[in-house]
Amino acid sequence: MSRSKMADVARAAGVSKMTVSRALREGSVIAPATRQRILAVVERLGYAPEEAARNLSSRRSGFVAALVPSLNNPQFAETVRALTETVEGSGLQVLIGHTNYEAAREERLVGEFLRRRPEALVVTVDGHSAATRRMLAAADVPVVEMWDWPTRPVRHVVGFSNKDAARDLTRHLIERGYRRIAFVGETESDGTRGAKRRDGYAAAIRRSGLGPPRIHNHAPPPISMLQGRDALREVLRQWPDVDAVMCVSDPCAFGVLTQAQAQGIDVPGRLAVAGFGDFEVSRCCLPALTTVVVDAAEIGRRAGLLVASLRGRGNEGAVRKQELIRIPVRVEPRGSTGG
């Protein structure tokens, strides 16, 4: 027995296919009694509409495509969760892709996702390739960039300035009296968020006349906790007099903190440590890590609301508009910088 289709339901209910279609669609005009009868038949036959046919006919996929660097990152996971739960109220499903922080992989995925005719494309700002930028600009679906504040946005933005946030964090360290501040970052430098944070650090150091920035580019992103431990060893070797280490992200900072403790270096007494992102581990560990608090869920939620508002009748007009949504972030001083 093959899977039943709309015509089978129509026959069994004694109506036309079109009436069945209407019975299954929320806001359509149909007699309540007819709908009841049809839904009963649907239930009995175990009928489920074929999305592909629906999509082809209606020219809407019901998809939103979202690209993040990694799923294995609590921040992006939280953004994706919030995005998903926000748009599913509008009957949309999120197609998630991960770039592994690789521009080439991102390029391929953008192409594949575009074939699925998503109703919107949400991407994480992280140094797109030229081809990716071209595809995004040419795409006939709304594009939302998130997690940074691009200098030249493709269309919509939901983000914050990683550079400014890192600069503020550096200033916090300086205000607390630290003077020989090192930065542990990633080797990538092509418009990635990590590079922006490094730039913010370097700008603050230079403007404060603290001499040349002490930058240790440890590895390609993402830098893990265990790599953070290695990184501190190298920083201490290169700048034995360092009194503070600022990290490109919280996992890295946790590694640095742990390595300091393993070597009997008092934090924050002899060494301050700061991270970026407000991962749970930073709030839980001893001492708690000073970090930049980013509301990852809010980014996903705002992106979702934007996407949801972009579809529907007003579509044609809405697609032309450009929304730039700034998500507030803040430095949160905690024990690791002498709080």
Residue ranges binding its own copies (CB under 8 A):
3, 46, 48-53, 55-56, 61, 70-74, 77-78, 80-81, 84, 93, 95-98, 111-112, 114-117, 138, 140, 224-226, 228-229, 251, 254-255, 258, 261-262, 280-281, 283-286
For residue 281, what are the CA distances in angstroms to 11, 156, 247? 59, 32, 14
Closest CA to 82 of 278, 248, 286, 304: 304
Q: Which of 22, 156, 196, 214 touches DNA by CB under 7 A?
A: 22
Which of 61, 86 has the CB closer to its own copies? 61
Question: Binds 254, which of DNA, its own copies, none (CB < 5 to 8 A, cut-off by type)?
Answer: its own copies
Q: For residue 146, how far is the Cα from the chain centroid?
A: 6
Closest CB to its own copies among residues 28, 58:
58
Give yes or no for residue 41 binding DNA (CB under 7 A). no
Contact partner at residue 104 from its own copies, DNA, none, CB < 5 to 8 Å by partner kind: none
Task: Check binding of 30 to DNA (CB under 7 A).
Answer: yes
- Cβ proximity to DNA, 141 vs 158, nearer residue: 141
Measured torsion, CA atoms of residues 107, 109, 115, 119, in degrees rounded to the nearest 10:
-100
User: Could you give phi then psi for residue 293, rounded to 5 degrees?
Assistant: -85, 120
Examine residue 315 and tell whether it contacts DNA (CB under 7 A).
no
Which residues are within 8 A (CB) of 121 and not within 5 positions of it... i.e. 6 or more apart?
A: 64, 65, 66, 67, 110, 113, 114, 136, 139, 141, 142, 143, 144
Report the distance separating Cα 23 and Cα 264, nearest Å.
Answer: 70
Which residue number, 55 or 100, has a Cβ lying nearer to DNA? 55
| Residue 309 site contact among DNA, its own copies, none (CB < 5 to 8 Å, cut-off depends on kind) | none
Nearest approach in angstroms of CB 47 to its own copies is 10
Q: Write the DSSP symbol of residue 47.
A: -
Residue closer to DNA, measured from CB, 49 or 338: 49
Q: Tokens for 33?
A: 């009694």
Torsion over CA: 239, 240, 243, 244 (sign): positive
For DNA, give the closer residue by CB, 21 or 75. 21
Residues 230-259 that bind DNA (CB under 7 A): none
- Residue 61 binds DNA, judged by CB under 7 A: no
The residue among 161 and 224 lying less far from its own copies, judged by its C-beta, is 224
Which residues are CB-contacts of 49 (< 8 A; sequence separation ≥ 6)?
6, 24
The whole-angstrom separation of Cα 289 and Cα 124 is: 25
Binding stretches for DNA (CB under 7 A): 5-7, 15-19, 21-22, 24-25, 29-31, 33-34, 49-50, 53-54, 56-59
